[in-house]
Structure 1
Amino acid sequence: MAHEDRYGLLISTSSDKAASAYREGVDLLLAGWTGAADTLERAIDADPDFALPHIARARLHAFYQQGDLARKKAATARELVARRGDARERAHVEALALAVEGRLPEALAATLKHIEAWPRDALVMAMPLGAFGLFAFSGMADHDQARQDLCERVAHHYGEDWWFLTLHGWALTENGNVARGRPMTERGFDLRRANAHGAHAVLHAMFEDGSIEAADRLVDEWIPTYDRAGILHGHIRWHQALGALEHGDATRALAIYADVLQPTATQAPPLNAITDGASLLWRLNAYGHTVPKALWAEADSAAQKLFPKSGLPFADVHMALFAAATQNQEALATRLAVIEQRVAEGKLPAGPVVPAICRAMQAFADEDFAACVRALTPVLSEVVRIGGSHAQRELIEDTFLVALMRSGELARARALLDARLHRRPSLRDTRWQAAFA
C-alpha cells in the first residue's frame, strides 16, 4: 500500500506505523511543538530504512547545535534514499542535508529548485522562511521581500493550511504589511492552537502594530499549554519581556529573564539562548535600568561555550554584546579579526555591516556615544542583512537612538523616533517620550 504525507506526497515506506509517526512528527516539527523528536524516532524504529524521518530528525539535531548527530543522521538519510526513494525524496533529503551541514548558499539554491518542482513539500518549504531561515541568513538586504514573494507564489497550493497561513502571514508582517499579515496568521493559529510558530507569528504582528497589552494577554493565556522544553518557549516569554520594557517595567522583564532565559533556566536551542538573553540584558542597560554584573558574567560564560568562534553573523553580533558589556576587549578583537578577514575575502554575505555593529556596541559600552553613532550611521539601512526579525534587529536601532540622545544629537533622534512612531503608535506612551520631555 502506498503511503502519503499530509500534503499528498508519496513517501517510500510500506509501514503504516512509520507513515503515521512520520506525518505526526512533521506536524509537530512544523508547529515547534514538543514530542517531534520522539515521534520521528518511532517512525525510524518502525522502518529503519525509511530515509525521511532520519533527515527530519537531523534538522532537529541541528536546531540544538548537535552537529555530529545531525550530520550522522543526514548521511544515513542520503544512503537510504539513494537505495529506496523517488526523485522528490532524494531532492528533499539533499536540500535538508545541505542545511544541516551548514552549506547555506547551496541549501538555499537546492531548496528553491525543489519548491519549484514540489511546492507542497512543506518541510523543505519551511527552510527559507522565518527569522532564522535560509533567506534571513543569506546576507540579502531584501530577504523580507523574498519570503513574501515565495509565499505568494505557492499560496494556491496550500489553501487554508494552518502551517502555511502562519508563515505566509508572518512573511507579510515582516515585509511591512501587518494589516494583511496579522489576520492571516491569526487564522492559521486558530486552526491549530498547539502551534508555537503560530503563537510566535501572532506576537510579531502585535509587536509591529503596537498591540502590546493584547500580546501580553495572549502569552499569559496560551503559554500554560506549551511545555517549557518547547523550542520557542523561552523566546515567546522574551517577547513578553519586551512588552514589559515598552512600559518601563524592568522588574518584570528581569523576572522573565530569571524564569526562562538565564543560562541555569533556559531550555532553548543555543542560538535562541544567547540572542534572547544578550538582547534583553542589553536593552535593559540601554534604557537606563540596572543589570547586575553577575548576570552578564554568567550569560557570557555560557555563550562563550556555545559560540566560541565566529560563524553566523546574527550570533556574532550578539556575542559582541557580551564582549562589550563585560569589557572583554580581547574576545571582541579576536572575533572581529576573523569577521573582517571573511569580509575582505568576500566570504561573508552580510558584509561590512557585521564588524560595524560590533564596533558600535563596544563604543556604546565605553560610553563613547559619538563613536557609536559614527559606526552605525553608514550601515543602519543594512542591518537587515544580519538576519533575524524586526523585533530582534530593533535592538540596533534602539542603541543608535540612545547614542544620538546621549551625544546631544536630539534632532536626529527625534526624526528617527517619529519614523518609528508612525509604524508603532503604542510607543507614544513609553520611555522614549520621557526621554524627550
Structure 2
Amino acid sequence: MTADRHGHLMTDTGAEALTRYEQALDDLLFFRPQVLEASRSVLAASPRSVMGQTLAAYLGVLGTEEKDAAAARDSFLRFRSGLDADRLTSRERMHLAAAAAWLDGDMHGAGRILGDLTVAFPRDALALFAGHQHDFLTGDAQRLRDRVGGALDAWDESDPHHGPLLGMYAFGLEESGHYEHAEEVGRAALARHPHDVWGIHGVVHTYEMRGRFTDGIRFLDARTDDWANGTLLTVHNWWHYALYTLETGDTARVLEIYDSVLHHDRSAGVAMELLDAAALLWRLYLAQDQQSARWDVLADAWESRDDGPHYAFNDAHAVMAYVGAGRIAQAQRLVQDREKWVAAEPDVSNGAMTAEIGLPVCRALIAYGRQDYARAADLLLPIRHRLNDFGGSHAQRDAIQRTLVEAALRAGRTDLARTLLSERIQLRPICPYNWSAKARLEAQLGDPRRAAAARERAAVQASS
C-alpha cells in the first residue's frame, strides 16, 4: 500500500495517483484553479482511491454550490456502495464519515469528525483545510483558530505546507480578535510563500478590522503579482481592496473594481463571487447610491442560478441583489420558499441556519428595501450577536450590521443608534463610516457641534 509523504497509508491509490494527489493537495492549499483537474487526474489513475474520492467529495461542498454538492453526493454514494470499510485505515474511515455527513447536509457533524481526525492525525493537511473552511462557512471563529493552532506543534517548520497552515492560522487569529498576532503570523506565511493568497487574505482582514485602510491598499499594491489574477481567491481579495477604497471615499475606483473584476459579462456566476458583488453594492445602497443598472445585472445572475435552500448565507446576498434591483416580490418569493422548506423540519445544518438567522436577515433586508426601517431594526436586533451562526467573516457580516445601524438612524431610533455606534467606535475607532454615521446621529439629536466634529473625524480618517 502506498503512503503520502507524511506516512498516511493510501488504500487503492497507485504510485501515479499518489503523485497526482500530492499535487492536488498543493493546489488546494494555495487556491489554484487547477485543483479540480488535479483531483480528476487522481481518480483517472486510481478510480477506487479512497482519499482521491474523499478529496472530490470535499471539493463538491466547499464552494457552497448546490448543484456541485448534489453531483458529488451521487458520485460518492456510488463509490461507497460495495466498499469494504474493514480494508481501510482508521483515518480513511473518518474522512469518509466526515465527507458523507457534509454531503448529507450535516455540516456541524462533519466538522466534529474532522476535529477528531485532526487530533488523531495532526499532519493530515486535507483534514485541516476542509475543517478550516468548514469553520469559516459556519462562522465558528474559535474553531477556525484552534483547529489549526492545535495541530501546528506536530509540523516541522521546514515542511512546504507549514507556510499555508500559518496562513490559515492567521485568519483564525484575526476572526478571534488577535489582530496584531494574526498579521505577524500571516506575514510569516508569506515569507515562506509570497503567493499564498489565503495568507494574504488573512493579513488583509487584520487591516480591515483595525481600520488600516491605506495600509491595506499599500500591502495589496506591493503584492499585486501574487494575488490579483488566476486564483480561486482573486475576486474575493479584490473585494477587500474595494472595501478599503470605499472607506477612502473613492467611489469611482470602487465601481471600476466592481466592473472589471467583481461582476461583468465574463464572470463565472459562482455563489462566492456573486455574494461579494452583492455585499459591495449593498454598502453603496446603504449610502443611498442606488447603482440600479448594476443591481439589475446582478439580480439576473442570481435568478439564473435558481438556487434551492442550500446555504443561508448565499440566500441573504441573493435577497440583497433583488432588493437593490427593486425586485421586492422576487425577494419575497425566495423567503416564502425557504419558509416552506423550514416548515418541513429538514434535519440538516442549513435548516437551523436558515430558520434562526437567514430568514430574519432576509426579511429585514426586504423591510429595509420597503423603507420600513423600524421593522428592519426589530428583525435584526435580536440576532445581531448571532449573525456568525450562518457563516462568513466579520468583514462580510458587517454589511448586515451596517444595515441595522442605518435602519435605526432612519427610523429615528436614536437611543439604539447611539448604542450601536458607541459599540462600533470603541471597537474600531478608525473607520470613516462609523464617524460619518455618528455625525448623522448627532445632527438628529440637534447637536451641530458634535456632528461637525464627527464629520471632521470621518474626513480626516478617509484621507489619511
Whether these two folds match at TM > 0.5 is yes
**Secondary structure at 1:126 match in 2:** helix
Residues of 2 paired with 1:312 and 1:151: CA distance?
A: 24
Identify the residue that residue 424 of structure 2 maps to in structure 1: 420
Q: Check conservation: 2:31, 2:198, Cα contact below 8 A.
A: yes
Identify the residue that residue 445 of structure 2 maps to in structure 1: none
CA deviation vs aligned residue, 1:315-341 (integer Å, no higher than 9, x gap)? 121122123223333333332234334
**Secondary structure at 1:426 match in 2:** coil
Residues of 2 paired with 1:223 and 1:61: CA distance?
A: 29
**Amino acid in structure 2 at the alignment position of 1:354:** G
**Amino acid in structure 2 at the alignment position of 1:232:** L
Residue 104 of structure 1 is aligned with which of 104, 107, 110?
Answer: 107
Q: Does 1:369 align with 2:366?
A: no
Residues of 2 paired with 1:3 and 1:163: CA distance?
A: 25
Please give the root-mean-square deviation of Cα atoms over the aligned residues, in Å: 2.8
Deviation at 1:14, TM superposition (A): 6.6
Residues of 1 paired with 2:265 and 2:393: CA distance?
A: 26
TM-score (norm 2): 0.83
- Structure 2: which 5+ residue stretches go unaligned? 441-450, 453-464
Q: Does 1:78 align with 2:80?
A: yes
CA deviation vs aligned residue, 1:281-332 (integer Å, no higher than 9, x gap)? 11111123241x2211111111122243233111121122123223333333
Residues of 2 paired with 1:310 and 1:69: CA distance?
A: 16
CA deviation vs aligned residue, 1:365-385 (integer Å, no higher than 9, x gap)? 122222222222222122221
**Secondary structure at 2:401 match in 1:** helix
Deviation at 1:208, TM superposition (A): 1.3
Identify the residue that residue 321 of structure 2 maps to in structure 1: 322
Q: Check conservation: 2:25, 2:126, Cα contact below 8 A.
A: yes
Deviation at 1:81, TM superposition (A): 6.6
Residues of 1 paired with 2:204 and 2:145: CA distance?
A: 18
Q: Check conservation: 2:328, 2:369, Cα contact below 8 A.
A: no
Deviation at 1:91, TM superposition (A): 2.3
Deviation at 1:359, TM superposition (A): 1.7
Residue 124 of structure 2 is aligned with which of 114, 121, 124?
Answer: 121
Residue 145 of structure 1 is aligned with which of 142, 147, 150?
Answer: 142
Q: Check conservation: 2:290, 2:324, Cα contact below 8 A.
A: no
CA deviation vs aligned residue, 1:20-39 (integer Å, no higher than 9, x gap)? 22112101102212322233
Alignment of 1:25-174 (within 5 A): 25-63=24-62, 65=65, 66-75=68-77, 77-78=79-80, 82=84, 85-130=88-133, 133=134, 135-138=135-138, 143-158=140-155, 160=157, 161-174=162-175
**Secondary structure at 1:415 match in 2:** helix
State which drifts further: 400-409 or 273-282.
400-409
Residues of 2 paired with 1:88 and 1:57: CA distance?
A: 17
Identify the residue that residue 272 of structure 2 maps to in structure 1: 272
CA deviation vs aligned residue, 1:110-162 (integer Å, no higher than 9, x gap)? 323322322222212222324xx2x3445x7xx21233343343332235411
Residues of 1 paired with 2:391 and 2:192: CA distance?
A: 29
**Amino acid in structure 2 at the alignment position of 1:243:** Y
Residues of 1 paired with 2:356 and 2:48: CA distance?
A: 46
**Amino acid in structure 2 at the alignment position of 1:150:** R
Residues of 1 paired with 2:22 and 2:396: CA distance?
A: 32
Residue 402 of structure 2 is aligned with which of 380, 394, 398?
Answer: 398
State which drifts further: 228-237 or 414-423.
414-423
Residues of 2 paired with 1:385 and 1:101: CA distance?
A: 19
Identify the residue that residue 21 of structure 2 maps to in structure 1: 22
Identify the residue that residue 211 of structure 1 maps to in structure 2: 212
Residues of 2 paired with 1:7 and 1:227: CA distance?
A: 32
**Secondary structure at 2:151 match in 1:** helix
State which drifts further: 350-359 or 249-258.
350-359
Alignment of 1:138-287 (within 5 A): 138=138, 143-158=140-155, 160=157, 161-226=162-227, 228-267=229-268, 270-287=270-287
Residues of 2 paired with 1:137 and 1:232: CA distance?
A: 15
TM-score (norm 1): 0.88
Q: How many residues align?
A: 428
Identify the residue that residue 297 of structure 1 maps to in structure 2: 296
Classify 1:6/1:330 alpha carbon distance in 2 versus 1 (closer, same or farther; 3 Å). Answer: farther
Classify 1:5/1:325 alpha carbon distance in 2 versus 1 (closer, same or farther; 3 Å). Answer: same
Alignment of 1:310-389 (within 5 A): 310-341=309-340, 347=346, 348-350=351-353, 351-389=355-393
Residues of 2 paired with 1:186 and 1:106: CA distance?
A: 33
Residues of 2 paired with 1:14 and 1:344: CA distance?
A: 44
**Amino acid in structure 1 at the alignment position of 2:89:** D
Q: Check conservation: 1:297, 1:326, Cα contact below 8 A.
A: yes
Residues of 2 paired with 1:233 and 1:183: CA distance?
A: 22
Deviation at 1:236, TM superposition (A): 0.7
Classify 1:198/1:267 alpha carbon distance in 2 versus 1 (closer, same or farther; 3 Å). Answer: farther
Identify the residue that residue 458 of structure 2 maps to in structure 1: none
**Secondary structure at 1:102 match in 2:** coil
Classify 1:3/1:227 alpha carbon distance in 2 versus 1 (closer, same or farther; 3 Å). Answer: farther
Deviation at 1:73, TM superposition (A): 4.3
Q: Check conservation: 1:136, 1:385, Cα contact below 8 A.
A: no
State which drifts further: 336-345 or 15-24.
336-345
Classify 1:36/1:173 alpha carbon distance in 2 versus 1 (closer, same or farther; 3 Å). Answer: same
CA deviation vs aligned residue, 1:375-416 (integer Å, no higher than 9, x gap)? 222221222211100000000111111222223334532432
State which drifts further: 407-416 or 190-199.
407-416
